Amino acid sequence: METIRIKYLSDKIEKLRYIDGKSDWIDLRAAERIELKQGEFRLIPLGIAMELPKGFEAHIVPRSSTFKNFGVIQTNHCGIVDESYCGNNDQWFFPALAMKDTVIEENDRICQFRIFEHQPAIAFEETDNLSNKNRGGIGSTGKK
């Protein structure tokens, strides 16, 4: 089991917890109350900084209910935090664009993360023939 060192930058949010058997994703919470008007952008502080294990990165995405509950979308669609972003003040943020007027309360669960190992080193070899069955291009997976 990997151990991740975490520093809480807010005492108002619940501590992170991994719920074994439920999901590999861990919820992150707003560290302050945020009011947004439609069309407004804001980096929402998540109240944590982490020291990820060497060779790992965190992927941060919205929860499935984030848009329904708050009317915001994550502007980078998937945030990536690598192990070099690990200082005492390297707080994680959720970049939100409001699609309607909304209020996100302190401690609301607005996004989630999981960690992945870095991609191994790869090399590309150019070829004229991939020698696999042709599936028919984009949109072909639903054809009979």
| Residues assigned a catalytic role | 82
For the chain, give the secondary structure using H, E and C: CCCCEEEECCCCCCCCCCCCCCCCCEEEECCCCEEECCCCEEEEECCEEEECCCCEEEEEEECCCHHHHHCEEECCCCEEEECCCCCCCCCCEEEEEECCCEEECCCCEEEEEEEEECCCCCCCCCCCCCCCCCCCCCCHHHCC
What is the rounded distance in angstroms from the CA atom of residue 99 to the CA atom of residue 106?
20
Q: Which of 11, 87, 95, 96 is nearest to 49 (CA)?
A: 87
